[in-house]
Amino acid sequence: MSKQNATISSKSELRRAKGEKSSSKTQKQCLIQRMPSEVLVKILHYLDASSLFCISHVNKFFNRLANDDTIWLRLYLYEIGGGKERRPKGPVENTVPKRTAVSAVSAAAAEPPGRAPGHWKRRYLKARAGYNVSEWMRDLRAISPYTGLPSQTESLLRKRRVAWELTVTLGSGREAAFEQSQVHFFQSAVTVSWSHSRWPLCSQVASLQLHAVVRVALTCPSLQRPGWRSLMASVDAQALSDRAPLVGHDLLVKVLVLQGVLVGVWRGTASIAFVIACFHFHRLVERSLLGTSICPYSGPVDKAPFDDIDPEYGLHGYTLHIVLHNTVAEIMSGRFSHLFCRKDQIQNGHIELVAISRADLSQHTPLSGNISLPWRCEGLDGTVENCCLMSFTLLDEAQQPFWCLSSPVYMAPAKKPVAYDYDGEHFSLCCLRPEGRVAMELVRTDRQRQLFLIDLRLYVGLQEVHRHFGKSY
């Protein structure tokens, strides 16, 4: 009998403990969270975009409610489609379809096939960011006769307040976003630098993602301001610690190049010091505004230009615009027209375009400075010698962009040829890509200690020529 009473008392204590546990869990819940979801959605319909964005950062529950597509569809219809003066003070009953389920899962199920959850929020933020495509497309029609690129690229990017953001993903999956530190515009490219004190170790970094960001003018006290992000480049950083090519160093940092992005690494701690990227102006506005956060902009496929029955059409009439620069200054700029290659000069699957010939002294060009890369990070600065950035634009016979590239390059010692026109050190500077390569020869004179560009040649892949002109040579 005593054992039975003890069993009954233990069961009652267990029920009491479970009841206290469930009641304490209920007490921990916010009073608003215990309200029906349909009622909460009705309340959220009265809020503006700034309030919704702030509420979405409270917790996962409010994030699901504040990102409901019916709410953002209402905002889009009455602020973007019809104007703020027609916006109602309460929830829309006739225009916006009713939904009983308010979670992201039910919203996705009610949307047409192929439409991802959060579609109307993305469309609203994109419209508020000033994405009037027809407006800035008209501005891009003005072409610079010197570079062959849209002359309003820099002004459009500044007018749209485009910034560039770097996202570092660690091996554990954790992400950290860094805003740009320095931006410098040149004739045909923009150089962006990121330098902060909170960089992780190189061995911890899994990938780097570069985004163009346009912030939306919402009054949000949150540090994470809303905006539209367009993926510019995604870099696999697994080879950052041991297999990335070394392009230069100084007393404090060594500079590695990783898929066209320069990464400065502190020599003592093996942690990142700075990251430098260079973006060419060719379709830069479209790449910065029309991509998504996970997918870069993919431009239209260019049609083959008109064939004028010239047997060597596609082998002549090229124009090259090239700039050597670093993060703050221009080192050399030149424009070379009427470049050509005859059929009998095609070798190893490449056509050779000679812009500056070693044999023609009148074409040799002095450089305004040394090949170097200045850097600055958290009060420290330095200069990496024999390393810089090169941006070039190759135009076809119709003055349309054929091959555009911005890439880091470095200068290496070369054998001095048997010649008596220059006394000094000879260097080679080369940029190798799947589309072809650019080869430069430079000399530093003994007396003036000045660099001269004495040879410049482009080797364009024959497959690229066939694809562009729709012909076979």
Say whether pLDDT at 53 is over 80. no
Rank 41-45, 189-193, 303-307 by mean pLDDT and report only the highest.
189-193
Instruction: Count the neighbouring beta carbons within 10 Å of the beta carbon of residue 186.
Output: 20
Residues 39 and 165 in one domain: no
Residue 244 within any structural domain of the chain: yes
Can you tell me the distance from the alpha carbon of 464 to that of 204, in angstroms, rounded to the nearest whole number?
A: 38
Output the pLDDT for position 202.
84
Residue 89: which pLDDT band, with cuts at 50, 70 and 90?
very low
Residue 388 has pLDDT above 90, yes or no: yes
Based on the domain organization, do 107 and 151 belong to the same domain?
A: no
Helices (H) and strands (E) in the chain, counts: 11, 21
154 and 254 co-located in one domain: yes
Residue 114 pLDDT more than 90?
no
**Domain endpoint, select from 93, 128, 163:** 128
Q: For 7-21, 194-208, 254-268, which range has the lowest pLDDT when averaged over its residues?
A: 7-21
State the burial class of residue 299 (Cβ atoms within 10 Å of its Cβ: 0-12, 13-18, 19+): exposed
Q: Is residue 102 part of a domain?
A: yes
Q: Are residues 81 and 191 in the same domain?
A: no
Q: Are residues 171 and 104 part of one domain?
A: no
- Kindly state whether residues 257 and 118 are assigned to the same domain: no
Residue 449 lies in a domain: yes
Q: Say if residue 91's pLDDT is above 60.
A: no
Domain range spanning residue 89? 31-128
Same domain, residue pair 276 and 150: yes
Q: What's the pLDDT score for residue 30?
A: 66
d(CA 106, CA 350): 56
d(CA 465, CA 468): 5
Q: Which residues contact 235 (CB under 8 A, 6 or more apart)?
A: 207, 208, 209, 210, 258, 259, 261
Tell me the whole-structure pTM to 2 decimals.
0.77
> Once rounded to an integer, what is the mean pLDDT over residues 400-425?
85
**What are the structure tokens assigned to 3, written together?**
């054992």
pLDDT at residue number 111: 44
Predicted confidence band at 92 (pLDDT cuts at 50, 70, 90)?
Answer: very low
Same domain (yes/no): 53, 82: yes
- Distance (Å, rounded) from C-alpha 253 to C-alpha 249? 6
Last residue of a domain, one of 289, 309, 330: 289
pLDDT in tens, 257-271: 988 999 999 988 888
In-domain check, residue 313: no
Asked if the model's pLDDT at residue 136 lies above 60, the reply is yes
Name the domain count of the chain.
Answer: 3
* Residue 43 pLDDT: 85
pLDDT digits (tens, 9 = 90+) for 394-409: 999 989 999 999 999 9
Q: How many whole angstroms separate alpha carbon 24 and alpha carbon 7? A: 26
Residue with tokens 């009060």: 379
- Long-range pairs of 199-203 with CB within 8 A, sequence gap ≥ 24: 199/168, 199/271, 199/272, 199/273, 200/168, 200/170, 200/176, 200/271, 200/272, 201/269, 201/270, 201/271, 201/272, 202/237, 202/240, 202/241, 202/265, 202/270, 202/271, 202/272, 203/241, 203/270
Dihedral of the alpha carbons of 197, 203, 209, 213, in degrees to the nearest 10:
-10
Same domain, 205 and 123: no
**Do residues 464 and 444 share a domain?**
yes
Indicate the range of 10-24, 38-52, 145-159, 381-395 predicted with least confidence.
10-24
What pLDDT, on the 0 to 100 scale, is given for residue 119? 79
Predicted confidence band at 103 (pLDDT cuts at 50, 70, 90)? very low
Q: Is residue 139 located within the same domain as residue 210?
A: yes
- Region 142-171: mean pLDDT is 93
Beta strands (DSSP E) in 301-349 are 318-325, 330-339
Q: Is the pLDDT of residue 152 over 80?
A: yes
Answer whether residue 13 is part of any domain: no
Q: Is the pLDDT of residue 252 over 80?
A: yes
More confident residue, 159 or 188: 188
- For residues 138 and 282, give the distance between their C-alpha atoms in angstroms, rounded to a whole number: 16
- Determine what percent of the chain is predicted with pLDDT higher than 70: 80
The pLDDT of residue 29: 58
Inside any domain, residue 22: no
User: Tens digit of pLDDT for each residue in 287-326?
Assistant: 998 888 888 988 887 787 776 677 788 899 999 999 999 9
| 91 and 205 part of one domain | no
**How many Å is the maximal CA-CA distance in the chain?**
118
Q: Residue 54 falls within a domain, yes or no?
A: yes
End position of a domain, from candidates 128, 163, 193? 128
Q: How confident is the model at residue 13 (pLDDT cuts 50, 70, 90)?
A: low
Measured distance CA(139)–CA(428) in Å, rounded: 39
Q: Which pLDDT band, with edges at 50, 70 and 90, does 95 fall under?
A: very low
Do residues 167 and 200 touch, judged by C-beta distance below 8 A?
Answer: no
Residue 16 domain flag: no
Question: Which residue would you say has higher pLDDT here, 64 or 1?
Answer: 64
What is the spatial distance between Cα 274 and Cα 467, in angstroms, rounded to a whole number?
Answer: 38
Cα 439 from Cα 429, distance rounded (Å):
6
Q: How confident is the model at residue 108 (pLDDT cuts 50, 70, 90)?
A: very low
